[in-house]
Amino acid sequence: MNLIAPRVLGPAAAYDLVAAVAPVAGAELVGLVPEDVLLAIAPERWGELDLGRDRTIEFRLTHGWVDGRGDGGDGSPPTGPPPG
């Protein structure tokens, strides 16, 4: 499901709507989410929704691309092309 207005219908609400009528094996975020949309979701749901602070537009603007999840932990900017 593409969320074209995530502030109107966000990832958690979309997941819950689908899960109410059919089994859901999992969620996958393709792309990035605005930070305010992420923060509107309870952090304990981030895992099931494939969300995290490193999956926000704002994080990537500040830290660039990272290999794997998180910022690498050493504060240095990532190098190389975006993953994928």
Q: Where are the domains of the chain?
A: 6-84
Q: Which candidate, 73, 6, 75, places its Cα nearest to that of 37?
A: 6
Lowest-confidence pick of 13-22, 25-34, 51-60, 62-71: 62-71
- Burial classification of residue 10, based on how many CB atoms lie within 10 Å of its CB (0-12 exposed, 13-18 middle, 19 or more buried): buried
The mean pLDDT value for 5-27 works out to 96
Residue 52 corresponds to which tokens in the numbers above? 């995290």
pLDDT band, very low/low/confident/very high, at 1 (cuts 50, 70, 90):
confident
Find the range with the poorest average confidence among 17-21, 47-51, 66-70. Answer: 66-70
Q: Determine the Cα–Cα distance for residues 73 and 84; give it in Å rounded to an integer.
A: 21
Name the one residue in this structure whose structure tokens are 């975020």: 29
Mean pLDDT of the chain: 84
Confidence of residue 41 (pLDDT cuts 50, 70, 90): very high
In angstroms, the CA 19 to CA 62 distance is 34
Give percent above pLDDT 70 in the chain.
Answer: 76
